[in-house]
Amino acid sequence: MNIPVKSTSAILAYKALDRNVGKFWIDWAVEMLMNGFNSEYLIILAGISSPYDQFELQTIAEKVFNELGLDYSDKYLTIKNYVAYLCETGLEESLNIDSTLKILRKFRDLYLDLDYDYLQYFYCLYYGVEDLQYDVVQWYVDGLDRSNIFEVVKDYFRKWIDENHVLKNN
């Protein structure tokens, strides 16, 4: 049995959050095909190019999920899986300020959209790191300064993954 590609958790979260289908989804479909998944609508999704018709793409995406048995009905679990994906992505990348802020911005946006308590520290990290781009102090995260940004972020990503034994919902 094939295991869905890592970015599947992001796609499921986007669907649970009712986000628009775009290039990331198309790239995901291609990667899924390259990893041995094969379904009629996955092939269709992989072959679509812009401009995107959201009504058509949302219908195709739903059919892909049904064909592949991918479930996003538990929004809370789906988002936790997405958070784990973002943490893993952050740990795999050689973080610099731009990539760190890009990843943390996704957490911030999730927190603002959902107000899930477990996202609050990511929200604070985002603003702490952002403030340190323009100032020598920040007031969001105790002990965070310009000299330890990447260590603090990576340590929290590891801690979050360790403490949140995320169960897969697909």
Lowest mean pLDDT of 63-72, 73-82, 88-97, 117-126, name the range: 88-97
Q: How far is Cα 36 from Cα 86, in angstroms, rounded to an integer?
A: 24
Token pair of 28 as six digits: 């995901």
- Residue 165 CA to its chain's centroid (Å): 17
Q: Is 36 left (phi over 0), alpha (psi -120 to 50) or beta?
A: left
Q: How far is Cα 94 from Cα 77, in angstroms, rounded to an integer?
A: 28
Q: Would the pLDDT of 162 be above 50?
A: yes
Each residue of 14-70: pLDDT tens digit? Answer: 999 999 999 999 999 999 999 999 999 999 999 998 888 999 999 999 999 999 999
**pLDDT attached to residue 168:** 52
**pLDDT attached to residue 170:** 46
**pLDDT attached to residue 149:** 94
Query: What pTM was computed for the model?
Result: 0.87
Q: How far is Cα 117 from Cα 121, in angstroms, rounded to an integer?
A: 8
Token pair of 113 as six digits: 């959209």
Each residue of 135-161: pLDDT tens digit? Answer: 999 999 999 999 999 999 999 999 999
Token pair of 102 as six digits: 């890009």
Would you say 138 and 131 are in contact if contact means Cβ atoms under 8 Å apart?
Answer: yes
The one-character DSSP state at 35 is T
Residues 83-90: what's their mean pLDDT?
92
**pLDDT attached to residue 159:** 93
Would you say 132 and 146 are in contact if contact means Cβ atoms under 8 Å apart?
Answer: yes
